[in-house]
Amino acid sequence: MFYMHILIHEYVYQEGTKMGSVSPDSEADQNKSTTAQRSLLQQFWKNYKNNYLSIAGGAIILLLVLMALLAPILAPHSPYEQFETSDDSKFHPAEPGTEIILTNGDGDIVEQTTAYLGTDNVGRDILSRLLYGLRTTLVIGLSVVITSLVIGSLAGAIAGFYQDSWIDNAIMRVMDVIFPFPSIVLAIALLGVVGIGETTYSLPILGTVAVPNTAKIILVISVVYIPRFARVMRGAVVTEMEEDYIDALRTIGASDFRILLSDVIVNTVPSVVIQGSLYVGTALLASAGLSFLGLGIQPPQASLGLMLSNSRDYVYSGEWWFSVFPGLLIAITILGFNLLGDGLRDALDPRYQGEQ
């Protein structure tokens, strides 16, 4: 084991020098001031673009984001309209490909169309709800990661900067307390505090503030991921602080604040962002799980987890389309983020290469 340790270090060191060295195609840029940074970026892109699985992951995510953004244009119907089947005029889950009709209050047919992916238990078009649900799910997954990334890495950066001081201890012990909880158990416990659904708080200065349910869910799941980012960031900052340039900056009288903000954080952010791309998938899974338990997004809003939750009562009666499509879309989304995140990590840190 001990030898392995040294070997890994040697390996990284060699790879590191290789990365920093001038490759033939970047020789022309040699005289520019940003050569070092640029060649790193080029190396990053070179590593990344050879990873076909990761490119595929990126393409999947791009496509899904476009689908979610263009939901109002792409969706054939509103996610709330309740269609009837033309045969017996009932709102029941209609099979994919069924002719469906929309009637107004007087029973006149307003619209006649086909439900390509079927309808749900109250007659809403599944395809349209999938597109709007994807929107909700992506917004929550990305917001969770951004929120916890910002809070977590700030806390971690401060802790790492003042390594072994009381600030470091205070911050990291709080993180230790949050860390052991399984994400959904912690999120559920926190939801016990903030309650489910929109709540209006009367605050001293701001007056009454209405907090929408979606914001609560984002906040509650973010708490789970804050310690993870804090740990990664702290580790990165501690390593960065050993660099010679920090001493140099101190010698010329730079303040702690300046060193931390304009140098240390800037240099360590890429590794944390990559870590973030790896967490989008799990954050999505946690939010879908919460909605599946009926504790996340509330009806009638469309979310993939909630659609799965509603479909549970129809599993035994054979309405398979109700549960198959939302789950498949969640799986594809998570797969895309996992492939993308793995590729980004491999490209940044060659040690991991070939580890999908």
Could you tell me which stretch among 24-32, 104-112, 144-152, 306-314 binds another protein (CB under 8 A)? Answer: 306-314
Q: Which residue's CB is nearer to another protein, number 4 or number 205? A: 4
Contact assessment for residue 128 and residue 204, using Cβ atoms and an 8 Å cutoff: no
Whole-number minimum distance, CB 36 to another protein, in Å? Answer: 29
> What single-letter amino acid sits at 342?
D
Could you tell me which stretch among 115-123, 143-151, 158-166, 282-290 binds another protein (CB under 8 A)? Answer: 282-290
Which residues inside 146-175 make contact with another protein, applying CB under 8 A?
A: 173-174
* Phi-psi domain of 286 (left: phi exceeds 0; alpha: psi -120 through 50; beta: other): alpha
Tokens of 170: 């205070």
Tokens of 55: 């490119």
The yes or no reply on residue 7 touching another protein (CB under 8 A) is yes
Q: How far is CA 350 from the centre of its chain?
A: 24
288-300 as b/e, with b when 16 or more CB fall inside 10 Å? bbbbbeebbbbee
In angstroms, rounded to a whole number, what is the distance separating the alpha carbons of residues 57 and 50? 13
The yes or no reply on residue 320 touching another protein (CB under 8 A) is yes
Q: What is the dihedral of CA 262, 263, 264, 266, to 10 degrees?
A: 70
**Binding residue (CB under 8 A) for another protein from 56, 122, 154, 188:** 188
The yes or no reply on residue 185 touching another protein (CB under 8 A) is yes
**Binding residue (CB under 8 A) for another protein from 24, 105, 180, 204:** 180
Q: Which residue's CB is nearer to another protein, number 79 or number 326? A: 326
3-state secondary structure of 207: strand
**Nearest CA among 229, 268, 217 for reference residue 151:** 229
Whole-number minimum distance, CB 200 to another protein, in Å? Answer: 9
> Facing residues of 112 across strands?
101
> What single-letter amino acid sits at 185?
V
Which residues inside 201-230 make contact with another protein, applying CB under 8 A?
A: 201
Give the count of alpha carbons within 13 A of 110, CB side only. 11
The yes or no reply on residue 303 touching another protein (CB under 8 A) is no
Whole-number minimum distance, CB 331 to another protein, in Å? Answer: 5
Say how many residues touch another protein, by CB under 8 A: 57
The yes or no reply on residue 199 touching another protein (CB under 8 A) is yes
Which residues have CB under 8 Å from 86's CB, separation 6+? Answer: 99, 100, 101, 112
Q: Which residue's CB is nearer to another protein, number 161 or number 292? A: 292
Q: Which chain residues interact with another protein by CB under 8 A?
A: 1-5, 7-8, 173-174, 176-177, 180-185, 188-195, 199, 201, 281, 285-286, 288-289, 292-295, 308, 311-312, 315-316, 318, 320, 323-324, 326-327, 330-331, 334-335, 338-339, 352, 354-356
